[in-house]
Amino acid sequence: MARATMPLSDAESPKAPVRFSSTLASEWTKLVSLRSTYITLGLAVILSIAFTVLVVIVVGANWDNLSASEREDFDPITISFFGSIFSAILIVVLGVNAVASEYSSGMIRLTLTATPRRGRLLVAKLLAIGIVTLVIGFALQVAQFLITQFILGSYDVPTVKLSDTDALRVVIANGVMSPILPVIAATVAVLLRNTAAAITSVLALIFAPAIFGPLFPNWWQENVLSYVLGPATDSIAIGHLDSDEPTRLSLGGAIVVVAAWVAAFVGMAYATLVKRDA
């Protein structure tokens, strides 16, 4: 007589497919369990707000000494985000470390064994990074803006409310774009597998046009540099405030350009991940 056997559950079956939610949960756990994640995000918040506050206090303390033209040119919106350069750099570090640390420690072999579908793994990793930086990014943008306007008001310097159309657009745009840099940084880490090289490459892509752009003729700035990632993201965030800048694109054009950059890097990372050994 044949012995009856109990059917295996999905969890017990060796052939049970791994759900995407499980892969995402695993990548989320790895990201939030890293001590460097909290240190990097903490520094991003502290340095961004501290530098912005310092700049605003200096402006407020010297407001009475400014000329009429300087006061007229003063923008209480853009000054609210002076410290964002620090958060930009540090979230790039976060995105790179989230990937490069697995290669340096050798954990990537275990990760790929547990999740052989490498495309799914890449999407889960990028999504986890994107969620964390989106939440922190939005909170930071709002905090910088509100703190700045409070300090400016205490010096009787002109201020704007968050409900102002221009101000709200800048805050929302910067918040929505917060995941772009760390996601691209993570894909570059997949390509290079080296922390220092990946960080340097991404920062050069972001800041080189701003540093060296003015050295180029206007034609190059308008038709070449404007399509680089850094100027394109600026066009989304503050393009409506300084539309006369040669590198500024229209909002729709800038969104397409930024989306194309993200898609290109994700595509290259995927192609590299599926073809190369761990």
The predicted pLDDT at position 13 comes to 44
Cβ within 8 Å of residue 96, ≥6 positions away: 185, 186, 188, 189, 195, 198, 199, 202
Residue 257 falls within a domain, yes or no?
A: yes
Mean pLDDT is lowest, of 58-67, 158-167, 200-209, 216-225, for 216-225
Q: How confident is the model at residue 16 (pLDDT cuts 50, 70, 90)?
A: low
Taking the C-alpha atoms of residue 164 and residue 267, their distance in angstroms, rounded to an integer, is 38
Pairwise pLDDT comparison (114 vs 188), residue with the higher score: 188
Mean pLDDT of 40-69: 94
Residue 97 pLDDT greater than 60, yes or no: yes
The predicted pLDDT at position 6 comes to 45
Residue 264 pLDDT greater than 60, yes or no: yes
Residue 138 falls within a domain, yes or no?
A: yes
pTM: 0.86
Mean pLDDT of 92-113: 87
The predicted pLDDT at position 244 comes to 67
Supply the DSSP string of 215-246, one letter for each residue: GS-HHHHHHTGGGSHHHHHHHHHHTTT-TTST
Q: How many domains does the chain have?
A: 1
Residue 233 falls within a domain, yes or no?
A: yes
The predicted pLDDT at position 278 comes to 60
DSSP 276: S
Tokens of 141: 């943008």
Residue 200 pLDDT greater than 60, yes or no: yes
Q: How confident is the model at residue 10 (pLDDT cuts 50, 70, 90)?
A: very low
Taking the C-alpha atoms of residue 225 and residue 204, their distance in angstroms, rounded to an integer, is 13
Taking the C-alpha atoms of residue 251 and residue 46, their distance in angstroms, rounded to an integer, is 30
- For the chain, give the mean pLDDT: 87
The string of pLDDT tens digits covering residues 246-263 is 778 888 999 999 999 999
Residue 17 pLDDT greater than 80, yes or no: no
| CB-count exposure of residue 91 (10 Å: 0-12, 13-18, 19+) | buried
Residue 69 falls within a domain, yes or no?
A: no
Mean pLDDT of 129-149: 96
Residue 48 falls within a domain, yes or no?
A: yes
Residue 3 pLDDT greater than 60, yes or no: no
SS3 label, residue 99: helix
Which residue, chain included where needed, has tokens 């898609």?
Answer: 263
Radius of gyration of the chain (CA): 23
Find the Cα–Cα–Cα–Cα dihedral 216, 222, 225, 230, rounded to 10°: 120
Quick one: how many helices (H) and strands (E) in the chain? Answer: 12, 0
Mean pLDDT is lowest, of 136-145, 192-201, 222-231, for 222-231
Cα–Cα nearest to 137, from 6, 33, 45, 16: 45
Residue 11 pLDDT greater than 50, yes or no: no
Residue 29 falls within a domain, yes or no?
A: yes
Range of the structural domain that residue 215 is part of: 20-60+74-275
The predicted pLDDT at position 157 comes to 93
Residue 72 pLDDT greater than 90, yes or no: no
Residue 110 falls within a domain, yes or no?
A: yes
The predicted pLDDT at position 243 comes to 63
Mean pLDDT of 115-140: 93
Taking the C-alpha atoms of residue 141 and residue 136, their distance in angstroms, rounded to an integer, is 9
The predicted pLDDT at position 12 comes to 43
The predicted pLDDT at position 133 comes to 96
Residue 211 falls within a domain, yes or no?
A: yes
